[in-house]
A and B are shown apart, each in its own frame.
Chain A
């Protein structure tokens, strides 16, 4: 295209006028483009919902270490991007002011809880486990035979005073570790809410 100096100036002038007066720009359309996503610039972290044993996939949108939003993972075979109300509201659990985020202890007979360190908490639990296990250990059990009524002593090696309670919020891997831990301690009482 052959553009003369005068023609160029004319065109420029016209475009400036058009822009300044908004000719050719639909204000409604311009407004529509103005919506920014609140998850923009977020890191997308795939995760698993722990609310039940269904194990739905979740996408966590995290910005500067804070969870901005979470929704179902569209690529997850269990839920294909959807979430139930409990899963969808997990962000409220994460930032609930009532959430306990450090170990606490209520001394026997005391009214109030006190914050303790993780080391203290683990030591206390370990000490109690050892104490109870030693006190209630059953190495052999006398079991009478049904026909003769004569008792025979069998080696059972059970920790009678300890029980484990799982929950629906325990995932596969945790369940494995818990049952393994039960075997190690000699605890036969490993229960789960789904069986009750």
Chain B
């Protein structure tokens, strides 16, 4: 199955927040008490019960105001940091490109939340599970579009094959650039190409998005360097133990009738192995 894409054309977004409601309706998430945070924005951040919300940014140029509205949710990265960080193999990536947390496997350790460059997953401390946008994987796998895309009235959200939609997105970008010269696509290459690709009307910083989102270095170090080296070290230690035991056995170190075993020879390989394991 080819990779899919959701194109978020923020130039068409009216900030009606129907995507938020549709998400809650489909995923049976309860409503939460909201407050006016900035402009018409009512959610500051994701919560375990709110997987998508709209950010509002007011930009003033020559006494005219531009409303920059952006539907925020999980980007569904091509190279997801959360998947890499997950300690219990609870996070998987579907062939469509949707990154999904399996609540049955999740233990709520919060490593995904710590390592996501966009701060998307949120841990429910009561249930001890991490929650985030699923990309409506159940709908998508059954041939429907995600609930947010289905409900979007101005057509700011589109769902389709990545190649065809990306071409459309670039076409649209050329059009939008006539009015907003700073407009750009966000998510074409970021994090290995995200499934939700945005047409932003200005630089990502204006939207409080990282310009170059990346997998944290500490995570790469841990998972790609220390862990493999560590497992080699542990394996080496285990091998040393086995070799030592076998060596002793062959030399007759365990034979009771052959007199008391040589303590020094018997213990030295195990001692080395223990040190190796700790490193």
**A residues adjacent to B (C-beta < 8 A):** 28-29, 31-33, 35-38, 69-72, 79, 81-85, 87-89, 91-92
1/0 contact string of B9-38 vs chain A (CB within 8 Å): 000000011101110111010010000000
- Contact indicator A83/B138 (Cβ below 8 Å): no
- Contact indicator B94/A72 (Cβ below 8 Å): no
- What's the dominant secondary structure at chain B's contact region? helix
- Contact indicator A83/B22 (Cβ below 8 Å): yes
- What's the dominant secondary structure at chain A's contact region? mixed
- Contact indicator B20/A85 (Cβ below 8 Å): yes
From 141 to 164 in chain B, residues with beta carbon under 8 angstroms from any chain A beta carbon are 141-142, 144, 147, 150-153
- Contact indicator B31/A92 (Cβ below 8 Å): yes
Most buried by A among B94, B144, B151: B151
- Contact indicator B142/A35 (Cβ below 8 Å): yes
Q: Which residue of A lies closest to B95 (CB)?
A: A32
Contacts of A84 in B (CB 8 A): 16, 18, 153
Does B139 touch A at the CB level, under 8 Å? yes
Complex CA distance for A32 and B147, rounded to whole angstroms: 18
Interface size on B, residues (CB 8 A): 25
1/0 contact string of B124-151 vs chain A (CB within 8 Å): 0000000000000111011010010011
Does B248 touch A at the CB level, under 8 Å? no
- Contact indicator B21/A88 (Cβ below 8 Å): yes
- Contact indicator A71/B150 (Cβ below 8 Å): yes
Q: Which residue of B lies closest to A31 (CB)?
A: B92
Other A-B pairs, 18, CB within 8 Å; known A32-B141, A37-B138, A37-B139: A28-B94, A28-B95, A32-B94, A35-B137, A35-B141, A37-B144, A38-B26, A38-B138, A71-B22, A82-B152, A83-B18, A84-B153, A88-B18, A88-B21, A88-B22, A88-B25, A89-B25, A92-B31
Contacts of A72 in B (CB 8 A): 150-151
Name 9 interchain pairs, CB-CB below 8 A, sorted by A. Answer: A29-B95, A35-B138, A37-B144, A38-B138, A84-B153, A85-B20, A88-B18, A91-B25, A92-B31
- Contact indicator A82/B150 (Cβ below 8 Å): yes
Q: Which residue of A lies closest to B141 (CB)?
A: A35
Contacts of B144 in A (CB 8 A): 37
| A32-B95, A89-B21, A91-B25 known; A81+B141 contact, CB < 8 A | no
- Contact indicator B147/A71 (Cβ below 8 Å): yes
Contacts of A38 in B (CB 8 A): 26, 28, 138
